[in-house]
């Protein structure tokens, strides 16, 4: 029952933001769109504060990083390979494009901001703890606000009905199936997390600002920490894939990007893969952004 209530809250806030688009005063919408790019970092600071307060109760905290890297690498590779096979079966051939080291460096710098926000939140919590004061910040309520902002943003996303064809839908399908296969592979390498939880962690699709909170609420802080770091690394691997091999296998690289394909990694799709693959990124990112909170919540509650 708790999981259904959490899912309802997430979807309601997403829908609320979507229907409020173009109905809010213009000045308020401008503020919302200015806040949205930075709200993720606010959310990450809050998440880091909550995780820092429970970190001392978690055995082998270094294991979190190791598990997160293993899961993110396996699920990213699974999404890439699965999408490649699906398009290979219907006769699609590799394409060509150009690579910009300048944009790659800029994107990695942006990713580093997320890690800085996490480090800042952790340091802030430790600082207050040194003075015997515990910060109380609800990352869940911040997440609900974030979902409203995402819904508002989705309403202005230039999705076109002609993009919704079965071939483009193979990109998110490849990400879903490949992520699950990656989780199964991880079960052979990671002994301290059961297969059900590994599959749950695989369904975040890079949506790190959501998965860490939801998993913490429904499971525990240990798995929540892994979920956060896992999706952060998935985003990094997606950027690397986009520029290392995305020019040759654009659909597979977009599948690796998961939910970030319609926002964070969209500029890389345009530059490394070409404008003709923007529909693939928009549709895949949209579908996975909607699916991620539902899949993670349901699997966490099982």
pLDDT in tens, 114-173: 788 888 988 998 898 888 888 878 777 887 888 888 888 878 866 566 666 788 899 999
Of 212, 259, 217, whose CA–CA distance to 234 is shortest?
259
pLDDT of residue 249: 87
Residue whose tokens read 């296969």: 181
3-state helix, strand, coil in the chain (%, to 5): 80, 0, 20
pLDDT in tens, 8-33: 787 788 889 889 988 888 889 889 88
pLDDT of residue 260: 84
Average pLDDT, the chain: 84
* Helices 208-218, 26-55: inter-axial angle, 10-degree rounding: 50
Of 3, 18, 285, whose CA–CA distance to 148 is shortest?
18
pLDDT of residue 103: 65
pLDDT of residue 160: 63
The pTM score is 0.76
pLDDT of residue 100: 62
pLDDT of residue 71: 96
Low-confidence ranges of the chain (pLDDT < 50): 1
- CA separation for the pair 35, 30 (Å, rounded): 9
pLDDT of residue 47: 76
Neighbours of 165 (CB within 10 A): 11
Of 235, 226, 225, 242, whose CA–CA distance to 280 is shortest?
242
């Amino acid at each position: 029952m708790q999981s259904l209530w959490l899912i309802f809250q997430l979807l309601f806030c997403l829908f609320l933001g979507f229907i409020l688009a173009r109905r809010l005063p213009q000045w308020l919408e401008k503020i919302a769109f200015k806040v949205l790019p930075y709200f993720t970092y606010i959310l990450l600071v809050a998440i880091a504060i909550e995780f820092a307060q429970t970190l001392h109760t978690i055995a082998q905290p270094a294991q979190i990083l190791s598990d997160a890297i293993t899961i993110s690498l396996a699920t990213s590779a699974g999404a890439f390979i699965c999408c490649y096979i699906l398009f290979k079966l219907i006769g699609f051939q590799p394409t060509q494009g150009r690579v910009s080291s300048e944009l790659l460096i800029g994107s990695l710098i942006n990713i580093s901001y997320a890690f800085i926000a996490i480090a800042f939140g952790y340091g802030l919590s430790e600082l207050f703890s040194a003075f015997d004061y515990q910060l109380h910040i609800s990352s869940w309520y911040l997440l609900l606000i974030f979902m409203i902002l995402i819904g508002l943003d989705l309403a202005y996303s230039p999705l076109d009905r002609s993009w919704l064809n079965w071939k483009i839908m193979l990109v998110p399908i490849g990400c879903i199936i490949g992520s699950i296969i990656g989780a199964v592979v991880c079960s052979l390498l990671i002994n301290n997390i059961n297969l059900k939880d590994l599959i749950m962690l695989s369904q975040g699709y890079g949506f790190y600002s959501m998965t860490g909170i939801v998993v913490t609420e429904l499971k525990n802080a240990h798995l929540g920490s892994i979920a956060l770091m896992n999706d952060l690394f998935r985003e990094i691997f997606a950027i690397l894939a986009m520029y290392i091999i995305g020019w040759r296998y654009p659909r597979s690289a977009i599948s690796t990007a998961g939910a970030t394909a319609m926002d964070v990694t969209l500029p890389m799709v345009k530059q490394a893969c070409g404008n003709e693959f923007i529909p693939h990124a928009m549709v895949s990112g949209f579908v996975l952004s909607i699916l991620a909170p539902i899949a993670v919540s349901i699997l966490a509650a099982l």
